[in-house]
Structure 1
Amino acid sequence: MATSYPQIVLFGDSLFQNAVDTVDGFSFQAALQQQVLRRFDVVNRGLSGYNTSHALRALEQIFPPLVPGSPKIEYLFILFGANDACVPLPTNHQHVPLEKYKANLARIITHPNIAAHEPKIFLVTPPPLDQILRTRLDLANGHPSVTRHAKISAAYSEAARQVAAENDGVTLVDLWKGIMDTAIAKTPDFDTSGPPLGYPEGVRGYLEHLLPDGLHLSSESYRIFYDLVKHHIPEGDRLLPDWQLAPWLEEDEYLKG
């Protein structure tokens, strides 16, 4: 039977789809794959534009029933919410109400096709939003108003925290906090008693570098993200016996006869 490596699956929207890209010499997915090389396959199932309702409709195509010989998902990272948090507009239909978003996340986490793998599940909060920049870009793209609000997006991140806390065995990865903490630390003289960074009544600060279009992650943000998750995944070790294939020295001895 062909060797089947266990999987680490990245299931989410464009924030995971873009994780395969190499920007400024860094790729989130490549860094994760390097960490687990020859022990796990990192599988990208990031779907740009998708919200949690889209994800549920596609879930059985992405995660077919577990059958003998099929790869087992050992780790599952779930990152949705940036699109669910869109405000309803005639020019944008990605919005999912907050309570439905929470229910959808719970349905994804507990879906039988996922539960059959018994994976370690990580629920990732959507990152912060730079509404100041998004307003300018959305208006330039023909929307009647900004498609996302920083305060609303923060509420969806909080909802993800709640879902993680309410579901046994689910680990929270707080990407919102990781990015915002970095932005605050790198914004000189930022007044934490005022509006948060990226809010329309405040300033962008260092979010300018972490969210280059106000929504998606820069390479620096992906490095922050990787630093948040890497300690949850075992490091690869060239001497470990649990590789699927023998080390080359053993194979060399076999070929010698």
Structure 2
Amino acid sequence: MNNKLTWPKIFLFGDSITQLSFSQDGQWGALLADYLQRKCDVINRGFSGYNARWCKFVLPQILGSDDAASVAAVTIFLGANDSNDGDLNPSQHVPLKDYREDLTEMVQYLQSIGIQRERIILITPPPCDEDAWGEECKKKDKPMSKSNTLTELYAKNCAKVAIDCGTQCVDLYKAMIKSEEWKEMLCDGLHLSQTGSHLLFTLLQPVIDKLTSDVVFKFPLWDKVDYMNPKVSLCSANTSS
């Protein structure tokens, strides 16, 4: 008999804002993992610089039908690169219509392998601080190809895809831009600072709570273990606290 326990999984899928989600500044993924200790595994599948056009080819290679039963949630967090100006940055830019279609295709793929639409969370790209990101581009001798006007348009379309597909949506753009201090939520004008990461975690928390409400805490707390006969506490069918 195989008595191995498995933990439900939360997949974080996206670009550099996801790849950096366990870093000191962009720590929203780490905050989520800490919050779900002994309940869920939080898996980072972020790819710096990637856009929705590329990610739709990556997704089937990291999530398949054999994973579906263990998936508690999947976040799709794309748009920061797609919304680059097409003339100034054609390699990362994805036209708005294609961006919507690519997001839709990814949602449909996840559903086709058995992941319910309620477990799919689209996150809109954050606002862009053009001055701060422009300085970063100068340091790297790259053209400044981002604008907050374009980013807002992609964020709105991301939210619309969520409505059309019936998935969850965390509208990070909308939540940030209504704050007078939204620029402080970015560490370089594009990526999340600790403040921005905490905001995203706060927005995700109630959604994740609902999706993991039936997930039990794995193994009893140490002071609940029968120290005279630990096997009874640790090898029984009931492993929750």
TM-score bracket, shorter-length normalisation: 0.7 to 0.9
- Post-superposition shift, 1:243? 3.4
Q: How does 1:116-155 map to 2 (within 5 A)?
A: 116-118=114-116, 120-143=119-142, 145-155=143-153
Letter in 1 for 2:108: T
Letter in 2 for 1:231: P
| Aligned counterparts of 1:241 and 1:125: Cα–Cα separation in 2 | 27
CA shift digits 1:117-147 (9 cap, x unpaired)? 336111110000111222333244333x421
| Aligned counterparts of 1:241 and 1:81: Cα–Cα separation in 2 | 31
| Aligned counterparts of 1:176 and 1:99: Cα–Cα separation in 2 | 19
- Post-superposition shift, 1:246? 4.5
- Post-superposition shift, 1:230? 1.0
SS in 2 for 1:20: coil
CA shift digits 1:204-236 (9 cap, x unpaired)? xx51x222311111101101111111122239x
Closer/same/farther in 2, CA of residues 213 and 58 from structure 1, 3 Å limit: same
What RMSD in Å do the two structures reach over aligned CA positions? 2.7
SS in 2 for 1:39: coil
CA contact (8 A) 1:5 1:71 kept: no
- Post-superposition shift, 1:161? 1.0
| Aligned counterparts of 2:199 and 2:177: Cα–Cα separation in 1 | 10
After the TM superposition, which parts of structure 1 deviate over 4 Å for at least 4 consecutive aligned residues? 89-92, 112-115
Identify the match of residue 111 of structure 1 among 109, 112, 135: 109
CA contact (8 A) 1:60 1:113 kept: no
**2:148 aligned with 1:174, yes or no?**
no
| Aligned counterparts of 2:8 and 2:112: Cα–Cα separation in 1 | 14
Q: How does 1:1-257 map to 2 (within 5 A)?
A: 1=2, 2-23=4-25, 27-66=27-66, 72-89=70-87, 93-112=91-110, 115-118=113-116, 120-143=119-142, 145-168=143-166, 170-182=167-179, 184=180, 186=181, 207=183, 209-234=184-209, 242-248=216-222, 249-250=224-225, 252=227, 254-255=229-230
Structure 2 spans left out of the alignment, 5+ residues: 233-241
- Post-superposition shift, 1:241? 8.7
- Post-superposition shift, 1:163? 0.3
Greater mean deviation of Cα atoms: 81-90 or 121-130:
81-90
CA contact (8 A) 1:128 1:179 kept: yes
CA contact (8 A) 2:69 2:114 kept: no
CA shift digits 1:67-105 (9 cap, x unpaired)? 6xx861111111000011111246651111100000000
- Post-superposition shift, 1:242? 2.7
TM-score of the superposed pair, with normalisation by structure 1: 0.78
CA contact (8 A) 2:13 2:45 kept: yes
| Equivalenced residues, count | 226
TM-score of the superposed pair, with normalisation by structure 2: 0.83
SS in 1 for 2:227: helix
Q: Percent identity?
A: 27
